[in-house]
Structure formats: C-alpha cells, structure tokens
Amino acid sequence: MLISTTTGLLPGVAPSNVYPTRDGADIVVAANADSVFARLCTAMGRPDLATDARFATHSARGANERELDEIVASWTAEHSIDEVLAVLDQHGVPAGQIYTAAEMLRDAHFAARDMLLRRRSIQGWDVPMAGIVPKFSRTPGSVRTAGPRLGEHTRAILREYGAVDDATFDALCKRGVVVDGAI
C-alpha cells in the first residue's frame, strides 16, 4: 500500500513515495529528477516509461503521479525488499527501507552509529531507546536514565503550573484522576 493513494510524499513530485515489497516491507523511493527517473525505469525493466509523454518530464510525472505510483508499486510488490534495494542501488536510484521498531533493534547500522541505546528502567527492565541526534564531537550529549516513574513529577508540575495545593492533589489521587508516582 502506498503511503498516499492520491499524492506522494511531496505532491506533484513523482515518483517520490513509499512502496510495498513482496515480503511485506516498505521502501521509500525518490526518483523525481529526469535522470534519476530514467535510471528507475531501466531498473524496473521499463525504459519506455522515461519517454512516455505522461512521465517524460518532471511536470508530466507530477500531473500523473497517481498512475506512476501505481506502476512503481506494482513493480516493487513483485520483489523482496533486498532485491529492490539491490537493483535500485545498482542503478543509482535513491531508496531506503522503512524500518519497523523490531528491524531497527536488529540493524547493524543503527547499532554501529549508537542510534540504539539501552538503559535500565526504575522497575529494572532493559529499555531500548533512540540515540542522540545530531551527534557533535565536542558536545556529544547523553541519555542518563530511561525516564521517571509514571506520575513521579505530577505533584510538582500541578503545583507550579496549575496552582494545585496538596489537599486538592490528594483528592485527585483518591479519585484516580492523577497518579502520585513519587511515593
């Protein structure tokens, strides 16, 4: 399924969308420039599309993006994510897999770039989380904790920003409206 059936990621800029693959993965392809589109057509085994009046120019592709997206989606859906990525890479077409969270946790590139951190939660669980972006050499940043307990700061926040006194806060806790995670 395309991310949008009426327009791509950038309306009028085609092909530039997320397309399905045979194995259920999604791939983003950005081939809207004339020369890149021609390479995509060759990669798909459809060099005729590059000279088709409906798709030969940037404007024409934009005006016919829905039809073009359907053609690209039909092609990607016939192949696995690895096959599509390999063919597009071989032809110099910008593309990338859209990862699920589980795929990110297994990906060697995410790990090598410290984009996956693990911190111990207050409850003692190992919590995976995103690394720091952007990465700076002099001020690299860090993640010190997995975060506070649920409601840990609720009383202080409501006191400061909501003018809620302790008696009102305790009443809200009794009614189940808020949680006092500090205790």
Question: The whole model's pTM is what?
Answer: 0.70
Environment class of 61 (CB within 10 Å of its CB; exposed 0-12, middle 13-18, buried 19+): buried
- Tens digit of pLDDT for each residue in 33-60? 999 999 999 999 999 999 999 999 999 9
Residues forming a β-bridge with 116: 130
Give 12's pLDDT tier (boundaries 50, 70, 90). confident
Residue range 16-98 in CATH 3.90.1150.10: no
- Tens digit of pLDDT for each residue in 74-89? 999 999 999 999 999 9
Domain boundaries, the chain: 16-98, 100-147, 149-183
Residue 116 to residue 109: CA distance in whole angstroms: 10
